[in-house]
Amino acid sequence: MRDDAEVIREILSQMQQDIVVVAHSYGAIPATQVAHQVPAVRHLVYVAGFQLDMGQSLLSSVGGEIPSWWIVNEHKVIADQTEDVFYNDLDPRVIVWAQSKLLPTSFASFTEPLSATAWRHVPSTYVICERDNAIPLRAQEVMAQRGRWTFRLPSSHTPMLSRPAELAEILENVASPTP
């Protein structure tokens, strides 16, 4: 997670204009770790993302138990049952395409705790995905309370694929001078 966070910080640091960071799923964790370190970041948007607090890791936030749809192979995690967990509202052809883009993740990235929380320093918005089977609705609602604004979509874990126009409208509203 810290390596991922450093890559995010480096990319954001190269930008000069106001930045709205849109973080999805696990990607929200490393973004939370570093986004506040870049002065140009003016807003964080968590899209079915892990808006965790200091000391939490992805694994601790799900109760410390490995979810049934994770395949842990040595030091890697591979998502299983993705049709139901991530893509339960997508056309089968889109599911096949999306599955082809998934890569294994290091197990360590799911266990490293946050030592910083950007949402405490930068305004944030949470987009709750009501049909998400990866992050339960109640867990999203709890994390959303950490932000200033909340939006809801009747979407799976991947609204950028199932409801792109609705998600884009939310992002445009957030990126406007007065969300």
What dihedral do alpha carbons 151, 152, 158, 159 form, nearest 10°?
-80
Any residues with CB less than 8 A from the CB of 118 and at least 6 apart, and which? 31, 32, 33, 34, 35, 36, 37, 41, 44, 124
**Structure tokens given for 70:** 């994770």
Distances in whole angstroms, Cα of residue 59 to Cα of each of 138, 141, 145, 168:
17, 18, 20, 30
pLDDT digits (tens, 9 = 90+) for 138-169: 999 999 999 999 999 999 999 999 999 999 99
Residue 30's nearest CA partner among 105, 95, 116, 88 is: 116
Read off the pTM. Answer: 0.95
* Residue range 4-55, pLDDT digits in tens: 999 999 999 999 889 999 999 999 999 999 999 999 999 999 999 999 999 9
Residues 94-141 have pLDDT tens digits of: 999 999 999 999 999 999 999 999 999 999 999 999 999 999 999 999
Residue 74 pLDDT = 87
User: How open is the CA angle 80-82-87, to the nearest 5 degrees?
Assistant: 170
Point out which residues pair with 9 in neighbouring strands: none
Out of 3.30.565.10, 3.30.1600.10, 3.90.180.10, 3.40.50.1820, which CATH number does the structure's domain 2-64+113-175 have? Answer: 3.40.50.1820
